[in-house]
Amino acid sequence: MLGILFGVLVGLALGLTGGGGSIFAVPLLIYGLDVAPKSAVAISLGAVAITAAFGAIEGWFRGLVELRAALIFAVAGMAAAPLGVYIGGQVSDSLVVFSFAGLMMAVAIRMALQSRREPGQASVVRSKFADDAVNDPGTVCQYNPDGQLRLNAPCSAALAGVGLLVGVLSGFFGVGGGFLIVPALILITTMGIHRAVATSLLVITLIGLSGLGSAALSGREIDWALTGLFIVGGIGGMFSGRVLARFLAGATLQLVFSIAMICTALFIVGERLFFAG
What residues form DSSP beta bridges with 149?
Answer: 143
Checking if the pLDDT of 50 tops 50, the result is: yes
Q: Looking at the 3D structure of the chain, how many domains does it have?
A: 1
**pLDDT value of position 49:** 87
Checking if the pLDDT of 125 tops 50, the result is: no
**pLDDT value of position 158:** 92
**pLDDT value of position 71:** 94
Mean pLDDT of 218-229: 88
Mean pLDDT of 36-65: 86
Least confident of 59-63, 131-135, 208-212: 131-135
Mean pLDDT of 120-128: 45
Mean pLDDT of 117-131: 48
Checking if the pLDDT of 1 tops 70, the result is: yes
**pLDDT value of position 128:** 38
Mean pLDDT of 204-208: 87
**pLDDT value of position 109:** 82
Where is mean pLDDT largest: 85-99, 102-116, 135-149, 174-188? 85-99
Give me the domain span that covers residue 81.
2-274
Q: Calculate what percentage of the chain has a pLDDT beyond 90.
A: 10
* pLDDT higher at 86 or 255: 86
